[in-house]
Structure 1
């Protein structure tokens, strides 16, 4: 009989446990997760409890790393309002660049107890991200007709995928140069301003660093250079079209630099009238020397005038002092005579 009672008790406990488990509802559930080919990721949770679960208390761990992101709401709860019922966690571009299923753990509080939601984000891998792009001309110069530009171009080879954004700088960058004398561009147009010559070379000098070189006539040089990300519509360059929208206005996709005549020289300075300072250095030096002489003469004239004025002022003071002394002597003499001629009463 005792064995029968024990068996009945065990069955009742199992039944109660099953009922409790089936009726238990978590405070929140995962609604959806999306991983994008720019390396960004977002997932949405839905509140299933009348009590609020605050997103500030939630922690997101991907693999073995606790990550930061942005929540769309302060809390979630069971509500007719979608704004109160849903909250989305977002991570920026290039956050999850690998093609793999990332294991994600979401830690949150429920009835002051720590709970965990485990799920996966199946990511396609990074194809292209605007946030990785950056273009800059570090410096440029011409030495005896040989031109060199040191360039920083980040994000040209950013993907490990076959269909990803991986381009050569010669195809990804557009250049415009301005020269002292006309030159023949690769478009066969001879002018002082235009694209690169037909023969140029771009070599890699370091991570995201490149050297642009080409030759001009020995008496010619590059005054300035402008470059930007190509607007070619071929694959994969067209992927960068979205980077030109206002969303990515902070991304530097172009640059302009004034160039120097030699590697160690300062850049060429050209006035709005086209006056080239570098071709008139001696003339400017002579003008500066004449200007200094004139300024010195002017300074000397001013100094002489100041000395002359000071001298005149000194003479005036001495003359006034002499007059005062003479007047005092006359007054004393007259007073002495008056005193002698005065009769006693």
Structure 2
């Protein structure tokens, strides 16, 4: 009876203890936010055990310390500051932030949850949401098609990028072409009169018809006029702001690698046959004809046999 009563009292005490509380908050137009958590008792709180969610979505970010508690000795502090990554809170308005952390009081462990309202302005734009890569590029009937993925291109009504102002292109062509800088080059920028448009979703395409027979070997696309996104502040995001891809000519006949290997094997076998030497002296009973007369016939028979074999293999493939 006493043990049950003691346990009941501990539960009541734990329920009345909050090791942490939300002391301050700020939210930015780039979708990031900062909160300050304070300790209300002497229970040590380790930040790697704290889970943060905004509208039921886990939030990525960094703490400025490893742990904190009230009346801390030495380097421990009473508060910890959490700064989220950019682009974690989109849309603006009031969001529900949920902070889950472990609490130990008098040897009894529990899990505590703080729920507060995070007040955010309307989201504008974040470099952290950008990503760029070449998807596919080829030339077909003298028309070049360069497909690329540009994520984060349309983030909000305020933060929409421009195809004309925020993208730059590079072509490595087989023959010279005229680019938008009025240069006749094989390695230049966007071709004059080329069209760039949205294909679907985050996928875009450049289309350019060469006035003369030509093709593109490599295609490059990158973000431009976004200097802030190239700063060291965004190194941790490992952004891909520039993409390049090898292109091909669509419709070209490609020889299957296996067939090529088989042909090479036949050539090697023929070379080996040509290197066969007939001994100068053979027993009269075994050889009735001169070796020099038999060598061409032997080679011819072997070549025909090998040739028939490889033709049979190729026929089976097709």
The question of a shared fold, defined as TM-score above 0.5 by the shorter chain, is answered with: yes
Partner of 1:214: 208
Partner of 2:248: 260
Partner of 1:204: 198
> 1:298-309 residue pairs with structure 2 within 5 A?
298-302=271-275, 304-305=276-277
Q: Distance in 2 between matches of 1:119 and 1:106?
A: 8
User: Is 1:191–2:191 an aligned residue pair?
Assistant: no
Residues 25/185 of structure 1: CA separation in 2 closer, same or farther (3 Å cut): same
> Of the candidates 43, 48, 55, which is equivalent to residue 40 of structure 2?
48
> 1:37-186 residue pairs with structure 2 within 5 A?
37-55=29-47, 58=50, 60-63=52-55, 65=56, 67-69=58-60, 71=63, 72-79=65-72, 81=74, 83-108=76-101, 109=103, 111=105, 112=108, 117-160=114-157, 162=158, 164=159, 166-186=160-180
Q: Distance in 1 between matches of 2:179 and 2:58?
A: 51
Partner of 1:35: 27
Deviation at 1:28, TM superposition (A): 3.4
TM-score for the superposition, normalised by structure 1: 0.62
Residues 116/128 of structure 1: CA separation in 2 closer, same or farther (3 Å cut): same
Moved more, 67-76 or 199-208: 67-76
Secondary structure of 2:231's match? helix
> 1:216-295 residue pairs with structure 2 within 5 A?
216-230=210-224, 232=225, 237-242=226-231, 246-248=235-237, 250-262=238-250, 295=268
Q: Distance in 1 between matches of 2:221 and 2:233?
A: 15
Deviation at 1:245, TM superposition (A): 5.1
Partner of 1:10: none
Deviations 1:3-26 (A, max 9, x none): xxxxxxxxxxxxxxxxxxxxx995
Q: Distance in 1 between matches of 2:116 and 2:264?
A: 79
Q: Distance in 1 between matches of 2:234 and 2:87?
A: 19
Moved more, 167-176 or 181-190: 167-176
Residue pair 2:31, 2:87 contacting (<8 A) in 1 also: yes
Question: Which structure has greater helix proportion?
Answer: 1
Who wins on radius of gyration, i.e. which is larger?
1
Residue pair 1:51, 1:78 contacting (<8 A) in 2 also: no
Partner of 2:8: none
Deviation at 1:201, TM superposition (A): 0.8
- Structure 1 unmatched ranges of 5 or more: 1-23, 267-280, 282-287, 316-345
Deviation at 1:37, TM superposition (A): 2.4
Residues 60/225 of structure 1: CA separation in 2 closer, same or farther (3 Å cut): closer
Residues 129/293 of structure 1: CA separation in 2 closer, same or farther (3 Å cut): same
Partner of 1:16: none
Residue pair 1:130, 1:243 contacting (<8 A) in 2 also: no
- Structure 2 unmatched ranges of 5 or more: 1-15, 256-260, 287-318
Residues 191/26 of structure 1: CA separation in 2 closer, same or farther (3 Å cut): closer
Number of residue pairs matched by the alignment: 257
Residues 181/26 of structure 1: CA separation in 2 closer, same or farther (3 Å cut): closer
Deviation at 1:154, TM superposition (A): 0.9
